[in-house]
Structure 1
């Protein structure tokens, strides 16, 4: 039965804990999920906007750079004639002036006639007379004001690109000749414009042409065979900006954020690339910290739910045990009431025959006295009749005490004289003590004030403790000492025996319900528990002192009335004694 109860309480504890955890954590998860989602969306949008702004700004820088170089060459074709620019000294002087003015951006200058042959050249290479009629940059620039080539190796076998300005619309020639002014742009200087875009640890930028060939120096930390496969276009800005943000899977298994924008009228593309984990590193750290807080809160909720549910179920269990104890107490009280009624009935039935027997013995004694001289065995008969009268009187006293005890079942609180009550209970237990060879010793202060308590409940407490003490000494006999006196505004009742004592391991459980050391069938384990409950119900205390082999002592403290009430009670006692003396 206890195992089944424990299982049911365990199930209840788990259910309560589960309900509390569900009710507490479900909103936490819901709100936390919404916060996480909103935070991630807002932060990602912020990162994308920042990267798009950076790329857009650098796109403008690169385009402005190219336009400036085109404008500078256009100025030359408009300011100087074909004859001036084809003069080697003048062209060399012009190149040096431009390098001094704009830095070493311009590597060389050359004038190409309409047949594609370079007729004038200033620069570090020997390219005078070079034929560009089949060169892509030359062919692509025909029919345009200016043209910018892709990066290529060319005759000099080093990466570079060319800006070409045609004279047919850029300047007038007296002889009507068409020619082209070309300039080589320093590849490294141009690459530095893009390499300056560095964000985080893995972010870098580069320029690709329509064929996907690098137009700037490839980043040192980029794998040469890395292939990016876009799987989501996160944000496409306005058409005039031309900035596209994409998420891509790399051939190395990593996820990348790429931001791209068109350059040179769509011939080139500026690409910014960064590992997604690096781009969102601050967000990931914030999410990890927030998740740790949420997990800590969730763990705290689980721990508190389990703790509170167990505490609550333990309280329920204690209430159920108290109810069960009350039910058993009611059963025990009913049994005591039935026994009291039975004892009253038996005492009443016995008392009538005993009274008649005593009356008849007295009558026979009167007859004997009338015939005193005629009966030879008068003395023996008189002695026998006296013995009958004495024992009959004793039976009458016993039945009166049984009737008195049985009738005091009212649990109402009243003034109770403890010494007198203890004497009555001792008289009832006297015969049992004689059979157990137990000597009784009383030390009762009959002048102490009464206590406010229920007579029947006190009877139950004292009778239980006295019977337990006698039963503990049944095998070898012993001595039962009962004392009662006032101490520190309390009535102290001590019931001590010289029995075997109580083991130290059992002292802490002696008042627990259903705990007993008696053999099966000789004790319910409720006696001391009921005593404990009744004494505390009266506002008192009960404790036990015991040494194994030296007996046990039960001390009961019951509150006395206030000092004023005690003083009035003593005055009433003195008054009654004086009245009794006067009557006497």
Structure 2
């Protein structure tokens, strides 16, 4: 194979592989991209909707908690008078009743007069007589019937917030209660999702009213606002950038009439970790599929190119065989012409030898060497007749080209083939051994094709025994209701590895230039077309035997059946 052809085959292989890869991967990448985009969009909406619903739910829970505590203090204000609540024993018993009914959520109770002085107190601290007139929460509560303060430290130096009820009767006074901060903050801190999700409350000024997870009071810079489902009103979702450059999702909702905001925050990667894992698994599957497509494309392209190479090789061999066949045909025509030209002078030579012999009959007495001359003339006639027979058989073989079926006598056909090959066998030191059944029934077949098969087998056997020589045995007879023709030689034999391929087109064990590898393939085709079989038996170092089995014509079988029955 020329280097240029190898380069073209490699280029063709690459082009086929690239085409298969492009046609296979383009839809995969397009569909995969669309699925990825839709998946991300749907998953984002799902996560945001879930967070919005979660924050909205907890906002209502916290608002309900505050309203309940406010209602409970309002109930005390309506049921009891200023004089009753100002009684130290009564207010102490009232606080105990609240704690028995609602737990230790209420830290203390107090009554404040119109000047901001606490005139009655029940609780763990010594706050009786405390002056709240300058306290921010007290100032903000003065113009409101009810008020819930921000979380602050106050006189007790611990975080808490206060619920106040202002009475606007003839005598202004305020009923206040401190709420346990830990009980309140636990409601907020229960909002936890993932590893980084946490919730906290901010007031209008952005001051933390509860402490976030691990006290992470980060400064978040909003970078993007995200729309949320219309069913959740008042919720704002933003993506914000933290000081450490991590992206966080913040979900906020106003509460306590807008004074506070419930904020939930979570690291973006943590919130979408399940989506990221799904995308990674999907990406790995896509990559494995892509690798499989590429590998398959390469394998298929190489197989196609190998097959194409094989077809090109077969085509080249076929072209060479056609050329060789043309040469053989020309040589055959030339041989036929030469045989015809030789046949004429040989015939004249034989006639002249006979004429000279007749002349010598009359002059024997006068010629001293008449005996030698008779012997010489007899030899001339004998050898001339032999030349005539050889040229006649050569002409007969060269002119047979009709593939129509005719009645053939196999023993006669075998003898003709042996006669034609006799000279070649003589030079190869090969002796013929014939075992021909003269009673063999004639068969209906093409003389030319069957002669070609036998001549091919005989020539192969002679060539196999060159130059050492040997014995070529040809036999024909019947076996198992079939006609059996055998051609056996004592040559070197055929290796067992080659026996299964011996009838394949273009397969040959002969040296380059000695054979095309088509002879046995043609023989195989001809015999099978006749309805017969051909097989080979060979042993290395002992020889090879080709067996041809042809069906006996039906009329011969029918004729033999009564004889066999009579014989039995």
Instruction: Give the C-alpha shift of residue 520 in structure 1.
Output: 5.3
Match of residue 149 from structure 2: 149
1:244 to 2:229 alignment: no
- Paired with 1:341 and 1:24, the residues of 2 have a C-alpha distance of 59
Kept in 2: contact 1:167–1:179 (CA 8 A):
yes
1:19 to 2:19 alignment: yes
Match of residue 208 from structure 2: 214
Kept in 2: contact 1:449–1:560 (CA 8 A):
no
Q: Could you say if the C-alpha distance between residues 538 and 287 of structure 1 is closer, same or farther in structure 2, counting changes exceeding 3 Å?
A: farther
Match of residue 108 from structure 1: 108
User: Which stretch of the first structure deviates more once superposed, 119-128 or 194-203?
Assistant: 194-203
Match of residue 354 from structure 1: 346
- Paired with 1:268 and 1:431, the residues of 2 have a C-alpha distance of 122
Kept in 2: contact 1:206–1:216 (CA 8 A):
yes
Match of residue 574 from structure 1: none
User: Which stretch of the first structure deviates more once superposed, 232-241 or 461-470?
Assistant: 232-241
Secondary structure class of the residue paired with 2:124 = coil
Secondary structure class of the residue paired with 2:227 = strand
Instruction: Give the C-alpha shift of residue 371 in structure 1.
Output: 2.9
Instruction: Give the C-alpha shift of residue 55 in structure 1.
Output: 0.9
1:84 to 2:84 alignment: yes
Secondary structure class of the residue paired with 1:266 = coil
Secondary structure class of the residue paired with 1:152 = coil
Instruction: Give the C-alpha shift of residue 367 in structure 1.
Output: 1.8
Q: Could you say if the C-alpha distance between residues 32 and 474 of structure 1 is closer, same or farther in structure 2, counting changes exceeding 3 Å?
A: same
Partner residue of 1:564 out of 548, 554, 566: 554
1:345 to 2:315 alignment: no
Structure 2: which 5+ residue stretches go unaligned? 562-568
- Paired with 1:8 and 1:447, the residues of 2 have a C-alpha distance of 62
Length-normalised TM-score, structure 2: 0.87
Match of residue 180 from structure 1: 174
- Paired with 2:441 and 2:215, the residues of 1 have a C-alpha distance of 104
Instruction: Give the C-alpha shift of residue 107 in structure 1.
Output: 0.9
- Paired with 2:442 and 2:273, the residues of 1 have a C-alpha distance of 83
Partner residue of 1:192 out of 173, 178, 186: 186
User: Which stretch of the first structure deviates more once superposed, 145-154 or 505-514?
Assistant: 505-514
Instruction: Give the C-alpha shift of residue 354 in structure 1.
Output: 0.8
Instruction: Give the C-alpha shift of residue 131 in structure 1.
Output: 2.1
- Paired with 2:139 and 2:440, the residues of 1 have a C-alpha distance of 133
Match of residue 457 from structure 2: 465
User: Which stretch of the first structure deviates more once superposed, 413-422 or 508-517?
Assistant: 508-517
User: Which stretch of the first structure deviates more once superposed, 29-38 or 288-297?
Assistant: 288-297
Secondary structure class of the residue paired with 1:43 = helix
Instruction: Give the C-alpha shift of residue 341 in structure 1.
Output: 0.9
| Cα root mean square deviation, aligned | 3.3
- Paired with 2:277 and 2:257, the residues of 1 have a C-alpha distance of 40
Instruction: Give the C-alpha shift of residue 283 in structure 1.
Output: 3.8
Q: Could you say if the C-alpha distance between residues 325 and 192 of structure 1 is closer, same or farther in structure 2, counting changes exceeding 3 Å?
A: same
Which contiguous aligned blocks of 4+ residues in structure 1 show a shift greater than 6 angstroms? 568-571
Match of residue 70 from structure 1: 70
Deviations 1:132-161 (A, max 9, x none): 233221222232233222212221121111
1:120 to 2:120 alignment: yes
Instruction: Give the C-alpha shift of residue 34 in structure 1.
Output: 1.9
Q: Could you say if the C-alpha distance between residues 135 and 457 of structure 1 is closer, same or farther in structure 2, counting changes exceeding 3 Å?
A: farther
1:555 to 2:549 alignment: no
Partner residue of 2:428 out of 436, 450, 458: 436
Deviations 1:36-79 (A, max 9, x none): 32233223212221221121111112122222323333343344
Secondary structure class of the residue paired with 2:364 = coil
Kept in 1: contact 2:49–2:229 (CA 8 A):
no
Deviations 1:89-119 (A, max 9, x none): 2222222222233332211111223333222
Q: Could you say if the C-alpha distance between residues 43 and 431 of structure 1 is closer, same or farther in structure 2, counting changes exceeding 3 Å?
A: same
Kept in 2: contact 1:449–1:570 (CA 8 A):
no
User: Which stretch of the first structure deviates more once superposed, 55-64 or 362-371?
Assistant: 362-371
1:484 to 2:444 alignment: no
Instruction: Give the C-alpha shift of residue 351 in structure 1.
Output: 0.6
Trace 1:35-46 onto structure 2 (pairs within 5 A). 35-46=35-46
Q: Could you say if the C-alpha distance between residues 239 and 47 of structure 1 is closer, same or farther in structure 2, counting changes exceeding 3 Å?
A: closer
Kept in 2: contact 1:207–1:214 (CA 8 A):
yes
Match of residue 566 from structure 2: none
- Paired with 1:277 and 1:102, the residues of 2 have a C-alpha distance of 41
Structure 1: which 5+ residue stretches go unaligned? 572-584
Secondary structure class of the residue paired with 1:126 = coil
Deviations 1:478-516 (A, max 9, x none): 212223344456554433222333455655665566665
> How many residues are treated as equivalent by the alignment?
561
Q: Could you say if the C-alpha distance between residues 19 and 500 of structure 1 is closer, same or farther in structure 2, counting changes exceeding 3 Å?
A: same
Secondary structure class of the residue paired with 2:262 = strand
1:394 to 2:375 alignment: no
- Paired with 1:136 and 1:452, the residues of 2 have a C-alpha distance of 129
1:364 to 2:356 alignment: yes
- Paired with 2:528 and 2:2, the residues of 1 have a C-alpha distance of 27
Match of residue 262 from structure 1: 254
- Paired with 2:409 and 2:320, the residues of 1 have a C-alpha distance of 29
Kept in 1: contact 2:198–2:212 (CA 8 A):
no
Deviations 1:332-377 (A, max 9, x none): 3222221221111011101111111111111222222233333333
Kept in 2: contact 1:451–1:491 (CA 8 A):
no
Partner residue of 1:373 out of 365, 368, 381: 365
- Paired with 2:407 and 2:132, the residues of 1 have a C-alpha distance of 133
Secondary structure class of the residue paired with 1:443 = strand
Match of residue 408 from structure 1: 400
